[in-house]
């Protein structure tokens, strides 16, 4: 693909992906804000365990084929569609098989995840498995072609479903069932609309040779996905085992709200970055330049969000969740701060490994982190909720060190250059944090807090503008999310 054409596709894809995430991150938190005032934390705790189960099984139904279809350089459209067809039928058969296993052992599974007596809820919720497997291949093909405009249309309509289904059912007293039914409706809509809009349609064709070739790449992506799942969900499992649904609801809802806020940036850029790096995998210079460009732009936005939520966690909790979620404030604060660091220095490294066709490196990173994470969470969990929360949040810094080490040793990306790449943002956000702390000492009034947040944002960007290179990039980015001629200047 020509540099100019790729640059144009990246710019267009980034625009639609960003618009999608902006709308999603307005509507989804708004939905959760309403539901948090209707449903008790225990209801969200139940959904957290169900989501944990579904996300685990989804890894096996997808088997890493989405990443394969995006990363692989096919010789022709026909070859791409053959691979898509094999991936589709494999996903669908596996999803029904695993759904059947869940139905057979539903009560045992419910007890294992800390929700005895909810086996029927798990069976019903897992209707999503064949639905997600039905649409995942179409989604991968849209991302490969940078067709984020179509994904925008589907996503925006889908996230409106909770207003039509979930919230009315919650008001009627359906508790966690309102969330389960809403999730199923969303996945059903995605499956139908993506299939209708996709150029590729599933056909009655299968080839075991093609499957073998796909698995040679995807098996490591699957193994990596399992390790990522453990990293993401091990704390949920431990809280469900040692504590109860109330604390699980507090924890998962708090971290989910923070992740949703920061995903306004990451979810809009990760698919673009992976697709772009995959196309540049054979050109190290442009590959590295693209990565550092993304990292700088992400840091400019993520750092102030993380530090800002940490400083104003009480206000964020009150606005996002309401009065019955007071204990969530400290969770939201510490998770936001560590998430900002994690995103800038670790989150995008896995995309580098996969884009280079080396998912084993991501798996290695996950394993090195899990070796420390699992015993830390188990030991901290025995001492109660808060020791577990702070231990779980701070141990993420070890994961950052692991990623930076692999990037240096294997990918030949300097740690010093990586840190220096975002140093203007680090200096600016440090000054902003100190400024915000001083402003908070004057008053804890809600109006003053909101006004001081605006002052902090202005102060942050004033500091950034003192750096000439950052100033140019900020002005350029205000015109276009990703410059169309980036690859020429890279």
Residues 6+ apart with CB under 8 A from 122: 50, 53, 102, 106, 109, 110, 115
Whole-angstrom distance, CA of residue 234 vs CA of residue 371: 12
Residue linked to tokens 């431990």: 238
Q: Give the pair of three-digit tokens for residue 385.
A: 């909720």
* Cα 182 off chain centre by: 20
DSSP E strands in 232-371: the ranges are none
**Mean pLDDT confidence for 261-280:** 73
Residue-wise pLDDT tens digits, 397-445: 999 999 999 999 988 888 899 899 889 999 999 999 999 999 988 887 8
The rounded distance, in Å, linking the Cα atoms of 286 and 266 is 21
Task: Calculate mean pLDDT across residues 205-234.
Answer: 78
User: Residue 156 class from Cβ within 10 Å (0-12 exposed, 13-18 middle, 19+ buried)?
Assistant: middle
Q: What percent of the chain stands above pLDDT 90?
A: 15
Mean pLDDT, the chain, rounded, equals 80
pLDDT tens digits for range 343-398: 999 888 888 887 887 778 888 888 899 999 989 988 998 888 899 989 998 899 99
Both tokens assigned to 32: 């959760």
Question: If pLDDT is split at 50, 70 and 90, which confidence band does 483 have?
Answer: very low
Q: Which residues contact 231 (CB under 8 A, 6 or more apart)?
A: 366, 369, 370, 373, 399
Average pLDDT (22-45) is 72
Identify which of 100, 89, 139 has the alpha carbon closest to the alpha carbon of residue 122: 100
pLDDT number for residue 255: 86
According to the model, what pLDDT value does residue 61 have?
A: 65
Q: Coil, strand or helix: which one is 341?
A: helix
Q: Cα-flanking dihedrals φ and ψ of residue 187, to 5°? A: -70, -35
Q: How many CA atoms lie within 13 A of 376 on its CB side?
A: 18
Residues 6+ apart with CB under 8 A from 223: 359, 363
pLDDT at 481: 46
pLDDT interval class at 476 (50, 70, 90): low
Task: Give residues with Cβ within 8 angstroms of 423, minimum separation 6.
Answer: none
Residue 427: per-residue pLDDT: 93
The predicted pLDDT at position 296 comes to 87
Higher-pLDDT residue of 15 and 386 is 386
Residue 249 CA to residue 405 CA, distance in Å, equals 35
Residues in Cβ contact with 355 at an 8 Å cutoff, skipping those fewer than 6 apart = 71, 274, 277, 278, 280, 281, 287
Q: What are the residue boundaries of the structural domains of the chain, listed by start?
A: 38-206, 232-490
- For 398-407, what is each residue's pLDDT tens digit? 999 999 999 9
Distance CA 137, CA 260 (A): 24
DSSP alpha helix (H) spans, 39-125 = 41-62, 65-71, 77-104, 106-112, 119-125
Counting Cα atoms < 13 Å in the Cβ hemisphere of 234 gives 25
Q: Report residue 14's pLDDT band, with 50, 70 and 90 as the boundaries.
A: low
């Amino acid at each position: 693909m020509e540099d100019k054409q790729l640059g144009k596709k990246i710019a267009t894809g980034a625009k639609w992906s960003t618009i999608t995430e902006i709308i999603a991150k307005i509507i989804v938190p708004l939905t959760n804000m309403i539901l948090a005032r209707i449903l008790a934390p225990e209801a969200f705790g139940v959904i957290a365990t169900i989501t944990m189960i579904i996300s685990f099984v989804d890894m096996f139904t997808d088997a890493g084929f989405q990443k394969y279809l995006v990363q692989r350089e096919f010789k022709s459209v026909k070859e791409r569609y053959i691979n898509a067809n094999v991936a589709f039928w494999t996903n669908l058969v596996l999803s029904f098989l695993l759904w059947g296993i869940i139905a057979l052992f539903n009560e045992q599974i419910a007890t294992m995840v800390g929700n005895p007596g909810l086996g029927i809820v798990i069976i019903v919720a897992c209707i999503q498995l064949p639905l997600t497997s039905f649409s995942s291949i179409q989604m991968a093909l849209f991302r490969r072609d940078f067709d984020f405009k179509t994904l925008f249309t589907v996503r925006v309509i889908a996230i409106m479903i909770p207003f039509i289904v979930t919230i009315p059912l919650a008001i009627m007293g359906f508790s966690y069932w309102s969330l389960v039914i809403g999730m199923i409706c969303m996945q059903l809509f995605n499956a139908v609309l993506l299939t209708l809009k996709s150029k590729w349609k599933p056909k009655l064709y299968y080839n075991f040779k093609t499957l073998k070739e796909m698995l040679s790449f995807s098996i490591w992506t699957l193994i990596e996905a399992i390790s990522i799942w453990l990293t993401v969900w091990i704390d949920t499992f431990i809280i469900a085992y040692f504590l109860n649904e109330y604390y699980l609801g507090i924890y998962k809802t708090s971290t989910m709200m923070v992740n949703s806020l920061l995903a306004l940036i990451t979810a809009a850029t990760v698919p673009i970055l992976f697709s772009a790096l995959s196309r540049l995998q054979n050109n190290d210079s442009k590959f590295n330049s693209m990565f550092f460009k993304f990292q700088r732009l992400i840091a400019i936005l993520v750092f102030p969000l993380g530090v800002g939520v940490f400083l104003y966690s009480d206000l964020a909790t009150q606005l996002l969740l309401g009065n019955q979620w007071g204990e969530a404030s400290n969770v939201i604060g510490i998770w936001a701060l560590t998430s900002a660091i994690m995103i800038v220095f670790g989150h995008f490294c896995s995309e580098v490994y996969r884009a280079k066709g080396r998912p084993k490196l991501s798996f290695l990173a996950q394993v090195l982190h899990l070796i420390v994470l699992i015993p830390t969470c188990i030991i901290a969990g025995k001492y109660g909720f808060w020791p577990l929360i702070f231990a779980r949040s701070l141990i993420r810094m070890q994961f950052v060190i692991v990623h930076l080490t692999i990037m240096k040793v294997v990918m030949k990306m300097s740690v010093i250059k990586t840190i220096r790449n975002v140093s203007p943002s680090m200096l600016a956000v440090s000054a902003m944090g100190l400024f915000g702390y001083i402003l908070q000492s004057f008053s804890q009034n809600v109006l003053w807090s909101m006004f001081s947040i605006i002052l902090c944002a202005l102060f942050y960007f004033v500091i950034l503008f003192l750096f000439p290179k950052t100033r140019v990039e900020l002005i350029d980015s205000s015109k276009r999310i990703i410059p169309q001629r980036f690859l020429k200047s890279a």
